[in-house]
Chains A and B, each alone.
Chain A
Amino acid sequence: GAVVSQHPSWVICKSGTSVKIECRSLDFQATTMFWYRQFPKQSLMLMATSNEGSKATYEQGVEKDKFLINHASLTLSTLTVTSAHPEDSSFYICSAHVQGRNSPLHFGNGTRLTVT
């Protein structure tokens, strides 16, 4: 079945550095992927919609210059947290959908980011 792979599973970085998170669709092409953020003990909030070959669409309140999204191919979207700060520490999870099929939305396993 369709699988979405996310890497890394967890990352610890120092304040001020940048971190890149990858989201790959393993056996299908995904023209659209979605990035969510989940703070501890809270729900998932959509950050942005990643569109292959075009600019991402960000939700209100999400800084596009801080959370850079690149969807350069039909199987890969990346989220880069630039100049990370401790308040960016969170669980980031991506999702993808098989276009044209009545299939469930697949989520990656998530990336736990800790900024020290």
Chain B
Amino acid sequence: AQKVTQAQTEISVVEKEDVTLDCVYETRDTTYYLFWYKQPPSGELVFLIRRNSFDEQNEISGRYSWNFQKSTSSFNFTITASQVVDSAVYFCALSDDSWGKLQFGAGTQVVVTP
């Protein structure tokens, strides 16, 4: 069975601080996909990244970066120089195919204060 663990329920930071969100996953599949989504207070899910199990390269997109480590089954997400607009719930998710049956983690609430 698949499982995604986001142990951090809430993280509070002051603007311009870096924040790292942890994501640990469990799966027996050799091919799988990992995702991060942002859910602002308005409720919509904003896609951030999709990574397949064969691509362990870390990725950077602006202030966002991701660290994928198969050895520890982790796919951590870092926001550098956080801003108030980063305040949201962030979900890590796992899929055994690319078609969209996602197993979501519990989510991490990020609160950025000025």
Contacts and interface: CB of A to CB of B under 8 A. Distances in A.
Partners in one complex: yes
Contacts of B37: 107
A44 B106 CA distance: 8
B100 A95 contact: yes
Contacts of A104: 35, 47, 50
Nearest to A45: B104
20 contacts: A32-B100, A34-B100, A34-B102, A43-B91, A43-B105, A43-B106, A43-B107, A44-B102, A45-B104, A46-B102, A95-B102, A96-B100, A97-B99, A97-B100, A105-B50, A107-B37, A107-B45, A108-B44, A110-B43, A112-B43
B98 interface: yes
Chain A interface, DSSP helix/strand/loop, else mixed: strand
B101 A46 contact: yes
Interface string A12-56: 000000000000000000001010100000111110010000000
Interface residues of B, number: 19
Interface of A: 32, 34, 36, 42-46, 49, 91, 93, 95-97, 102, 104-110, 112
